[in-house]
Chains A and B, each alone.
Chain A
């Protein structure tokens, strides 16, 4: 971890307003995206967003740069807060079940395909996925996080994340195949 990041964290620990503002500016949007993808509602997401950063600034002294990056650390707090919110709201946190994979549609997509039609169909198919699966995809593809980092955020292990992502991708393509067939 660089010297600049170390200094930044030191400033955060001292409670400097400038450092706090920078934290919100640099990492706020990604945290918000993660939260809103999990909970769906903007108002709820903003409320959780505030809770996340208040908690983060309160516990900044517990942040260990050796274990994870600041973005990953914030992502973990945000993910846990969102999950707690969903639990309190009595909304189930659903992940794609392996049984959902239909044997007939054992389709391996062409990885190099960059079809506009495919993209549109994938986008539509993604909306049918549970929120947690969508979050995984967002973290991997949009935030460009590694499996290790995603595992840290979700409290899982990297191999499970890899398996889950593979299954989600397979599920999506099978879904768009169904759309195509129709």
Chain B
């Protein structure tokens, strides 16, 4: 007997169907307001869920708005700082205009403050001094103006020869070399403000070298001597640092098994490679 037959046979039992029907009538009924209570519960749960979603969305919107405001506030500040050009480090930014020289006004694109400076006479040539190891350029050549535009002046030929290859030495020389160049940066400026700044600078600095340094060959010589002394000091200190490093690291990380550390007549350490035929007197 298949399932359909069983079902048909069962369905034909009217007595049993009636008995079941009557029994269902006697079942406890559900409360009248059961559905109503249930609906209220469901609606309350839905409202709560929507509220929490709304709160989450609101919180997210507020957080993103705050983040956007913070970005808007920070970015212009940073961009403003980046756009500002670096001010010259040397406050001595001007020189008295020499007599007979023509000012060269070279406009550069700079944001405030702009300093109007006139060109100066070139450094007069000096006989080459072996002590100083510095050679000064040809006479009467205007200094190079550092501008973003194509240069309008002639390049300064210092002719200085670097005695040693230390970075510090080059840096010091560059600073010295560019100092006068910076001084010749000329731009269209607000006239009142820069002169005020220059006047203030003049007053603040002690006149140790003399403001008229470039007018006096003697002062120039003194300056050159001081510069060479500075170079010597820098190179000496560089060498001492090198010696310290070599001494400290040689035993820890020897460059090769046959390498030895030797001291020359100046007291500077050097690494030497030995071979089988090379004898070193200790």
Contact = CB atoms under 8 A, between A and B. Distances in A.
Interface of A: 15, 17, 20-21, 24-25, 28-29, 32-33, 36-37, 41-42, 45-46, 49-50, 53-54, 57, 109, 111-115, 118-120, 122-123, 126-127, 134, 137-138, 140-142, 146-147, 158-159, 162-163, 165-166, 169, 172
Contact of B24 (A57, A142, A172): A142
- Chain B interface, >50% SS class: helix
Given A24-B38, A165-B6, A119 B18 contact: yes
Nearest to B26: A123
A45 B29 CA distance: 10
Contact of A45 (B22, B23, B30): B30
B203 interface: no
A126 B19 contact: yes
Nearest to B37: A50
Nearest to A42: B28
Contact of A33 (B6, B10, B24): B24
B16 interface: yes
Contacts of B30: 28-29, 32, 36, 42, 45-46, 49
Interface of B: 3, 6-7, 9-10, 12-24, 27-31, 34-35, 37-39, 41-43, 45-46
- Chain A interface, >50% SS class: helix
A37 B15 contact: no
A32 B27 CA distance: 10
Contacts of B22: 119, 123
Nearest to A162: B6
29 contacts: A15-B46, A20-B39, A24-B38, A25-B35, A28-B30, A33-B27, A36-B30, A46-B30, A49-B38, A50-B34, A57-B42, A111-B12, A112-B12, A113-B14, A118-B15, A119-B18, A119-B19, A122-B15, A122-B16, A123-B19, A126-B23, A134-B23, A140-B10, A142-B17, A142-B21, A147-B7, A158-B3, A162-B10, A169-B16
